[in-house]
Structure 1
Amino acid sequence: MLLIAGLGNPGSRYAKNRHNIGFMAADEIHRRHRFSPWQKKFQAEIADGTIGGEKVLLIKPQTFMNLSGQSVGEAARFYKLSPSDLVVIYDELDLPAGKVRVKTGGGAGGHNGIRSIDARCGKDYRRIRLGIGHPGAKELVHNHVLGDFAKADQEWLEPLLAAVADNADLLVKGDDNTFMNRVSLALGGGDARSNGRKDANKPAGAAKGQSHIRQARPAKPAVNMPESGPMADMLKKLFGKKD
C-alpha cells in the first residue's frame, strides 16, 4: 500500500492559501480516482482507493502544518509502512509557480511540515514539491505563503492539480521522471529537468524573455539612381537600362 499525504492547515480560513496546495492536490486525486468518502482517523482526514491497480491511502493531517509528522507517522506505524511507501505533496517557495519536482530524501528546506515528518518517519520518502513562487524578499514570505492564491493563479493552478491527479498512477509505479515531465507538458512546459531556480517567479507556461526573440534586421536604405548626366549614361551601359 502507498500512503500519499497532502500537507496544509485545517479549516476554511486556510483553505485557499498557497501553503495548502498539498491539501488541494490530495482533494483532486480523491475526486478523480473516486476514493472512499473522507473520514477522521490518525488526527487526519483519510480516504482509501485504488490507483494503477495498487491500494492507496490519502491522508490530510489536521494537526496544523508544523505538526504534520504526528498524523503521518501514526498512520505509517499503524499500517507498518516504510519510508519508501510514503509520498508527501507540499508547497515549495524555491520553485516557479506551477512547476513540480520529485525527489527521495533530502533536507526540509525550511518547510516545517516536512521537518516534522522527517522527525517522525525518517527522510527516505518521496517528496512532491509544487512550486508557488517566491515573493522576492524574505520579509514578504510569511504573507505570501499564508495568502490566498490570486484569481490569475487559477490559469496554472487548476491545470497543475489536474495533471498531478491524472498522472498519479506514475507515482504509484515509481516512475517519477515521467510523472514530472507529463505534468510539465500538461502546463505547456518542456522537460522538467531543465528548469532552474533562477525562474522562481515565472509561472509555468509563461512566455520566454524578449532576449530570446530574434530581432528583424533593419532594411537597407534605397539608393537613388541618377536619371541623366555622365553617371547615368555609364550605368545604362553597365546594366543595360533603356530610356
Structure 2
Amino acid sequence: MKLLVGLGNPGREYEKTWHNLGFEVAQLFGKQVGVTDFKLKKKLKALVADATINEEKIILTLPQTFMNKSGESVRQLISFYKITLTDLWVIHDEIDLEVGSIKISTNVSGAGHRGVQSIIDAVGGQTFTRFRIGIRSERQGQIPTEDFVLQKYDRKTIEPIIKKTAAAIQTALTDGLAKAQNQFH
C-alpha cells in the first residue's frame, strides 16, 4: 500500500496557486486511475480517496490543515493506514527547481519547504519519496517567496508539468521509482 499526499492549502482562494500544485497533481492522478471523489475524513484532517494499481492499494490524500501544518494530517494518515515512511509519497511545489521541471527524491531534507518540514518533524524522519515540482522563475525573484507561492499561475505554462508529474507517479507505481527518475528528470 502507498500513501500519496498532495500538498496544498484548502479553500477556493488558494486554487490555481503555485503552493497548490500538489493538490492539482493528486487530483489529476486520481481522475486518471478512476477516482471520482475525495471524501473528507475529519479525524485524519484530509480529503481521502483510494485506488488500486497493479493490485496495490493507493490512498490519495489532500491534507486540509494548510501547507505549513501538513505534518499533523500526515501523521494521522500514517497511523490510521499503518504506512511505513518508505511507502509515503509526497507531491509538492519546489522553489529550488526551474518551472517545468520535476525531480523525484527520497530521503532528503525539507530544504526550506515548510510543508515538507512539517511532515518530517511530525513523522520523525525523511525517508519518504517526494515528487518535487519546479516553480522557480524570474518573477519569483522579484517578490518574497511566501507571497510568490500564493500567487495564481498561468494555466498554459503549468498544465503540462501537472500532467508530466501525474505520469511520473504512474510510472513509479507500475515500473518503479528508478525508472520514473530516469524518465522524468
Report the TM-score, using the length of structure 1 for normalisation.
Answer: 0.69
Distance 2:53 2:72 in 1: 26
Q: Does 1:55 align with 2:57?
A: yes
Distance 1:120 1:25 in 2: 23
Q: 1:172 deviation in Å?
A: 2.1
Which position in structure 1 is the counterpart of 2:171?
170
- 3-state SS, counterpart of residue 170 of structure 2: helix
Which position in structure 2 is the counterpart of 1:233?
none
Gaps of at least 5 residues in structure 1 are: 184-191, 193-243
Which position in structure 1 is the counterpart of 2:126?
123
Q: Larger helix proportion, structure 1 or 2? A: 2
Q: 1:53 deviation in Å?
A: 2.9
Among all aligned residue pairs of Structure 1 and Structure 2, give the percentage whose two residues are the same amino acid.
Answer: 35
Which position in structure 2 is the counterpart of 1:75?
77
Q: Which amino acid in the other structure matches residue 81 of structure 2?
A: Y
Gaps of at least 5 residues in structure 2 are: none
Answer yes or no: is the 8 Å Cα contact 2:47–2:61 preserved in 1. yes
Q: 1:132 deviation in Å?
A: 0.7
Distance 1:174 1:182 in 2: 11
Answer yes or no: is the 8 Å Cα contact 1:19–1:146 preserved in 2. yes
Q: 1:37-56, aligned counterparts within 5 Å?
A: 37-41=37-41, 42-56=44-58
Q: 1:98 deviation in Å?
A: 1.0
Q: Which amino acid in the other structure matches residue 46 of structure 1?
A: V
Answer yes or no: is the 8 Å Cα contact 2:172–2:179 preserved in 1. no
**1:148 corresponds to which of 142, 147, 152:** 152
Distance 1:80 1:136 in 2: 39
Q: Does 1:110 align with 2:112?
A: yes
Answer yes or no: is the 8 Å Cα contact 1:32–1:166 preserved in 2. no
Q: Does 1:17 align with 2:17?
A: yes
Answer yes or no: is the 8 Å Cα contact 2:103–2:133 preserved in 1. yes
Distance 2:167 2:110 in 1: 27
- 3-state SS, counterpart of residue 106 of structure 1: coil
Report the TM-score, using the length of structure 2 for normalisation.
Answer: 0.90
Answer yes or no: is the 8 Å Cα contact 1:35–1:50 preserved in 2. no
Answer yes or no: is the 8 Å Cα contact 1:34–1:49 preserved in 2. yes
Q: 1:28 deviation in Å?
A: 0.5
- 3-state SS, counterpart of residue 93 of structure 1: strand
Distance 2:40 2:134 in 1: 28
Q: Larger strand proportion, structure 1 or 2? A: 2
Inter-CA distance 48–136: structure 2 relative to 1 (3 Å threshold): closer
| CA RMSD after TM alignment | 1.8
| Runs of 4+ displaced beyond 4 Å | none
Which position in structure 2 is the counterpart of 1:205?
none
User: Between Structure 1 and Structure 2, whose CA radius of gyration is higher?
Assistant: 1
* Deviations 1:120-175 (CA, angstroms, capped at 9, x unpaired): 12211001100011445374322221100025xx24x2222222223423322572
Answer yes or no: is the 8 Å Cα contact 2:4–2:59 preserved in 1. yes
Which position in structure 2 is the counterpart of 1:99?
101
Inter-CA distance 146–176: structure 2 relative to 1 (3 Å threshold): same
Higher relative contact order (CA 8 A, sep 6+): 2
- 3-state SS, counterpart of residue 94 of structure 1: strand
